[in-house]
């Protein structure tokens, strides 16, 4: 049996911009992607703390050190500059591995 667990989380990320003309996705500064353990083009779940919207998209790397959090394409309708997001990714892990490593 597999269990879906939180793998990576960026808490309280402020949206810096939106780009309706891009295909889709969420641009995140490359250094932030690396620090939190995300992988470029990984599926993510976003929760907007300002309006309660939750949406799925994928992460693309932006300029390192820029602090970019940019909603692209259809995702740009889910928030505006200054809104605060929680960005999450999940992993499917065999239950026996969780029991062994965490003693659950």
- Amino acid 98: pLDDT: 76
The whole-chain average pLDDT of the chain stands at 94
66 as an active site residue: the answer is no
Q: pTM for the complete prediction?
A: 0.89
Domain ranges of the chain: 2-102
Quick: pLDDT tens for 34-82. 999 999 999 999 999 999 999 999 999 999 999 999 999 999 999 999 9
Residue among 22, 47, 58, 66 flagged as catalytic: 58
25 as an active site residue: the answer is yes
Q: What is the mean pLDDT of residues 14-27?
A: 94
CB atoms within 10 A of CB 60: 20
Distance of alpha carbon 39 from alpha carbon 20, whole angstroms: 23
Distance of alpha carbon 2 from alpha carbon 60, whole angstroms: 27
Higher pLDDT, 2 or 101: 2
Q: Would you tell me which CATH number, out of the four given (3.40.50.720, 2.40.40.20, 1.10.1740.10, 3.40.47.10), belongs to the domain 2-102?
A: 2.40.40.20
- Amino acid 64: pLDDT: 97
Distance of alpha carbon 46 from alpha carbon 94, whole angstroms: 25
């Amino acid at each position: 049996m597999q269990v879906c667990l939180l793998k990576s989380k960026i808490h309280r990320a402020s949206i810096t911009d939106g780009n309706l003309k891009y295909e889709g996705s969420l641009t995140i500064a490359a250094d932030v992607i690396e620090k939190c353990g995300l992988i470029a083009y990984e599926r993510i779940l976003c929760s907007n703390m300002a309006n309660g919207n939750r949406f799925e998209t994928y992460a693309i790397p932006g300029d390192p050190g820029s602090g970019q959090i940019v909603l692209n394409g259809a995702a740009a309708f889910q928030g505006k500059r200054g809104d605060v997001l929680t960005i999450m990714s999940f992993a499917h892990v065999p239950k026996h591995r969780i029991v062994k490593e965490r003693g659950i």
